[in-house]
């Protein structure tokens, strides 16, 4: 027979180990613990067994809230999208600034959770948080003056830009200095290619963050051109 543990909501099993009392676990606790594990150790560390151990609960107790590992991953991804990616002031300010803030929030969170970009590159995620994110992007593009057809097109470009940039930064960005080191060395040694030699100092100083901002600049210009009255 189990006896009451020293903390509310816990019990002590026959081996003297504390475990959570049946029915004391809720979804918010699962999400909070899942977010912590994913941020510290990566999305691949999210398993029912690991979460149950962290929460002091049985796996059966978790199955009351999430069906399996994929369901747990979806729950955590949705929490990230809903609470961390969309800034609270997303409806305030010029549309260009709002689009940039949203892009920065997505990039920040995608790089904060190891493995999250890889999941999003290989499968769709359409939870409530993701739907709110998509709706926010479409709202900004509508405020920029795009019709629905144009907004959808530029939404897809926006997603491709942000996800693609994050994936490249995490898996071998071609603009990283170590990828361009041999090019700059050869350019400095070569007798020809004067234009390339002149570009070396600027090539060396560029960062992935600056490239990200330049890509957003090009997207903003494309949106403005599409919204321009003909």
- The pLDDT tens digits for 115-150 are 999 998 887 777 888 898 999 999 999 999 999 999
Residues 41-82: tens digit of each pLDDT: 999 999 999 999 999 998 898 988 998 999 999 999 999 988
Residue 86 banded pLDDT, cuts 50, 70, 90:
confident
Once rounded to an integer, what is the mean pLDDT over residues 23-29? Answer: 83
Once rounded to an integer, what is the mean pLDDT over residues 25-39? Answer: 93
- 192 has a pLDDT exceeding 70: yes
Tell me how far apart the terminal alpha carbons of the chain are, to the nearest angstrom.
79
Statement: the pTM of the whole predicted model exceeds 0.95: no
Give me the chain's average pLDDT, please: 84
Q: How many CB atoms sit inside 10 A of residue 19's CB?
A: 18
What is the structure's pLDDT at 23? 59
Instruction: Please identify, in words, the CATH class of the domain defined by 77-227.
Output: mainly alpha
Q: How many CB atoms sit inside 10 A of residue 39's CB?
A: 16
Record the tokens describing residue 187, joined without a space.
Answer: 């350019």
Higher pLDDT, 183 or 230: 183
- 5 has a pLDDT exceeding 80: no
CA neighbours closer than 13 Å in the CB half-sphere of residue 178: 4
For domain 1-66, which architecture applies? Answer: Orthogonal Bundle (1.10)
Where are the chain's structural domains?
Answer: 1-66, 77-227
């Amino acid at each position: 027979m189990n006896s009451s543990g020293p903390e509310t909501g816990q019990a002590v099993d026959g081996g003297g180990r504390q475990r959570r009392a049946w029915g004391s676990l809720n979804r918010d606790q699962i999400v909070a613990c899942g977010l912590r594990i994913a941020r510290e150790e990566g999305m691949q560390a999210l398993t029912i067994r690991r979460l149950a151990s962290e929460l002091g609960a049985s796996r059966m107790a978790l199955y009351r809230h999430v069906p399996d590992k994929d369901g747990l991953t979806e729950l955590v991804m949705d929490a990230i999208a809903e609470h961390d990616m969309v800034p609270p002031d997303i409806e305030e300010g010029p549309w260009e600034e709002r689009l940039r803030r949203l892009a920065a929030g997505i990039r920040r969170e995608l790089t904060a959770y190891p493995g999250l970009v890889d999941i999003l590159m290989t499968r769709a995620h359409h939870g409530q948080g993701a739907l709110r994110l998509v709706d926010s992007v479409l709202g900004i593009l509508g405020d920029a003056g795009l019709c629905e057809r144009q907004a959808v097109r530029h939404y897809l470009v926006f997603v491709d830009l942000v996800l693609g940039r994050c994936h490249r930064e995490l898996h071998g960005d071609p603009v990283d200095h170590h990828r361009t080191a041999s090019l700059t060395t050869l350019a400095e040694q070569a007798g020809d290619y004067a234009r390339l030699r002149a570009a070396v100092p600027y090539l060396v100083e560029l960062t992935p963050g600056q490239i990200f901002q330049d890509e957003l600049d090009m997207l903003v210009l494309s949106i403005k051109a599409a919204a321009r009255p003909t």
